[in-house]
Structure 1
Amino acid sequence: MDPVVVVEPLKRRHCADCRRGPLERLVLEFNAPRCLDCADLGHLVFLPRGNAALTRRAREASSLWAVVVRHNRRRTRYERQGLLVEEAALARAEAACLADAEARARRRERDAVRRAAEDVRFTARLTAEIMRLFPSCPLDRALDVAAHTSVRGSGRVGRTAAGRALDEGAVTAAVRASVRHLDTPYDGLLMRGVPRHEARRRVAPAVEATLTAWRTPPS
């Protein structure tokens, strides 16, 4: 069964029965405009388009509803603007959507707590792996490297699949990057316009010397 269609007119129109107007919305019956009251739709309330879940629930809960359209001259077609639904149905739909929103908010909070706990555990494991591979690395430095490289959403080594698996190459790459930036003039070379590959070549001996020293167990 086709839904009742209510039109938002572009021109000033008056009701063919009660002569009220100009009408914000009307129903065409036998090509004659009628106001919502004369069309027995005056008790319905307007629900604008935009919230699919609210629209679906309000339509399902309303024993009588109508589609509201407006003609788009540029596209030469009628476009849906929303629905007319029973006020009680809209209230029930809004309550259901609010309950869903609250449930989603609680789930997001639980997920955030879970992810934070996972991140803490992973950072601890990454720190331990750094200290295993580089036993002479200062503990504070290992903690900083692990925290920096494992930031969620950063795209850094610690967030890659290899990094999450504590792959030795990925862990070493994270430590090497830290040494390059903090213990060599690498950043200064970049600021002076030295190409990245050339800057890396210049500081490579110092980086490898530090890594070698950190790989040596403390005496």
Structure 2
Amino acid sequence: MDLVVIQPLKGRHCAECRRGPLPMHLVESGVPFCLDCADLGHLVYLPRGDAALTRRAREASALWAVVVRRNRRRGRYERQGLLVEERALARAESACLADAEVRLRRRERDAARRAAADVRLAAELAARIRQLFPGCPEERAAGIAAHASARGSGRVGRTAAGRSLEEGAVTAAVRASVRHLDTAYDALLMAGVARNEARARLAGEIDAVLASWRRHPHEAGTAQDAGGPLRTVSQEPEPGLLGPASGPGAPGTP
């Protein structure tokens, strides 16, 4: 089990030596202890950010601890770095300098591979959108796919269902796009309408757009042709719609 050292958000004092406020402390039996009293004072802090350096320093250190800080917004503790032995950190830094160029080339290859995978996923998602919604414009489908599949976004296109191009996930991405771009949803939110209420108000409008996109573009014309010639509607207003008639020959005129 890892030793965990906390970077406190509020000032804490050591339960043994009473020093404080402490930049870091170890909690034992529910009370804080400074690093010196916890026998961790000889360790040095290594911030997160360099995965290779962190891994090598941890492996070379006989004693190490994870440093965490509470994220109030997310309601959880998040890793900030490590406390490691100074000689272990020096050894890790030397090892990282020795193969820095190799690791750089590896990162570049990995970045290129991820970029190609992202392009492929967006193209597959756009094709799936066009398959489910053939009436959706091609440019719009590409835009929806790019937005939904953006790396690191956490959107539906990055989920397991989205990567598998499942119909429910793809439809959710299209529905979200229609909600924001084809309705007054954003304006309702700005007006203070609750999100669920705004969605309920616009559900019918969104469903109508999705229904129209599910049809092939030529279906409307085909259905019209099958129904025969269109009935011509007279442009003349019906008698009585414009009020009492007047002029020569009208009833009641001399």
TM range (shorter): 0.5 to 0.7
Question: 2:180 maps to what in 1?
Answer: 181
Which structure has greater helix proportion? Answer: 1
Question: 1:149 maps to what in 2?
Answer: 148
| 97 and 145 in structure 1: CA distance in 2 versus 1, 3 angstrom threshold | same
SS of corresponding position for 2:211? helix
Q: Distance in 2 between matches of 1:81 and 1:93?
A: 11
Question: 1:198 maps to what in 2?
Answer: 197
Write the letter of the residue equivalent to 1:120: V
1:169 Cα deviation after fit: 0.4
Write the letter of the residue equivalent to 2:183: T
Q: Distance in 2 between matches of 1:213 and 1:180?
A: 15
Report % sequence identity.
62
| 203 and 94 in structure 1: CA distance in 2 versus 1, 3 angstrom threshold | closer
Q: Distance in 1 between matches of 2:100 and 2:109?
A: 14
Question: 1:110 maps to what in 2?
Answer: 109
Question: 1:210 maps to what in 2?
Answer: 209
1:209 Cα deviation after fit: 0.4
Question: 1:122 maps to what in 2?
Answer: 121
**Within-5 A mapping of 1:14-93:** 53=56, 82-83=86-87
- Unmatched segments (≥5 aa) in structure 1: 1-47, 60-79, 84-89
Question: 2:158 maps to what in 1?
Answer: 159
| 208 and 54 in structure 1: CA distance in 2 versus 1, 3 angstrom threshold | closer
1:200-219 deviation line (CA, Å, top 9, x unaligned): 01111110000000000111
| 100 and 177 in structure 1: CA distance in 2 versus 1, 3 angstrom threshold | same
- Unmatched segments (≥5 aa) in structure 2: 1-43, 47-52, 62-83, 219-254
Q: Distance in 2 between matches of 1:49 and 1:180?
A: 48
1:4-55 deviation line (CA, Å, top 9, x unaligned): xxxxxxxxxxxxxxxxxxxxxxxxxxxxxxxxxxxxxxxxxxxx88577479
1:100 Cα deviation after fit: 2.5
| 98 and 185 in structure 1: CA distance in 2 versus 1, 3 angstrom threshold | same
SS of corresponding position for 2:99? helix
1:151 Cα deviation after fit: 0.3
Q: Distance in 1 between matches of 2:171 and 2:59?
A: 54
Q: 8 Å contact 1:130–1:142 — kept in the other structure?
A: yes
Question: 1:10 maps to what in 2?
Answer: none
1:104 Cα deviation after fit: 2.0
Q: Distance in 1 between matches of 2:176 and 2:184?
A: 13
Structure 2 length-normalised TM = 0.51
Write the letter of the residue equivalent to 2:104: A
Q: 8 Å contact 1:145–1:175 — kept in the other structure?
A: yes
Write the letter of the residue equivalent to 1:123: A
Write the letter of the residue equivalent to 1:111: D
Q: Distance in 1 between matches of 2:171 and 2:192?
A: 27
Question: 1:65 maps to what in 2?
Answer: none
Q: Distance in 2 between matches of 1:108 and 1:204?
A: 45
| 217 and 54 in structure 1: CA distance in 2 versus 1, 3 angstrom threshold | closer
1:154 Cα deviation after fit: 0.4
| 150 and 55 in structure 1: CA distance in 2 versus 1, 3 angstrom threshold | closer
Q: 8 Å contact 1:180–1:186 — kept in the other structure?
A: yes
1:152-172 deviation line (CA, Å, top 9, x unaligned): 110000000000000000000
Structure 1 length-normalised TM = 0.59
